[in-house]
């Protein structure tokens, strides 16, 4: 399956203190047209049972209800497996979408990657 030109997903792994963390970078647009492909791409990285996740939204221009559903599902999986899930660097449109849907209180947000990383470094 070729990469969808509307969205790019990049996943990196970091060891922060004693904690292994996945950093998921989302760029472009997540819509109904590419949501299934995005979900499958992200899900395959959870075979290692590492459920500590930072999602970098800095370059995510747009997401619709399916994009929100992907983030909700991912957050639920992480929490059910006793991991930490943090969203970071949402642009104004994406941030306002979280506020309008009342999901801004459901997710944990950090202003930048360093702040998000510190959540794992300070974990005891």
Q: What's the pLDDT at 2?
A: 44
Residue 33 has pLDDT above 80, yes or no: yes
Q: What's the pLDDT at 49?
A: 82
Tens-digit pLDDT profile for residues 62-101: 999 999 999 999 999 999 999 999 999 998 999 999 999 9
| Percentage, residues of the chain above pLDDT 70 | 94
Residue 96's domain spans which residues? 7-121
Name which residue leads in pLDDT, 97 or 49. Answer: 97
Does any domain span residue 20?
Answer: yes
Does any domain span residue 2?
Answer: no
From CA 40, how far away is CA 7, in angstroms rounded? Answer: 13
Does any domain span residue 74?
Answer: yes
Does any domain span residue 19?
Answer: yes
CATH number at residue 13: 3.30.750.24
**Which strand (E) or helix (H) includes residue 59?**
strand 53-63
Does any domain span residue 32?
Answer: yes
Cα angle for residues 33, 22, 30 (degrees, 5° grid): 15
Find the range with the poorest average confidence among 47-51, 96-100, 103-107, 117-121. Answer: 47-51
Q: What's the pLDDT at 46?
A: 85
């Amino acid at each position: 399956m070729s990469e969808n030109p509307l969205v790019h997903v990049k996943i990196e792994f970091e060891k922060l203190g004693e904690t292994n963390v996945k950093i998921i970078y989302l760029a472009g647009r997540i819509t109904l047209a590419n949501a299934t492909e995005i979900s499958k791409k992200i899900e395959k990285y959870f075979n290692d049972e590492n459920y500590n996740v930072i999602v970098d939204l800095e370059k995510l221009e747009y997401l619709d209800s399916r994009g929100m559903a992907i983030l909700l599902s991912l957050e639920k999986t992480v929490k059910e497996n006793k991991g930490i899930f943090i969203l970071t660097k949402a642009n104004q449109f994406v941030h306002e979408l979280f506020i309008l849907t009342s999901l801004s209180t459901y997710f944990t947000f950090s202003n930048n990657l360093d702040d998000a990383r510190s959540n794992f470094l300070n974990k005891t």
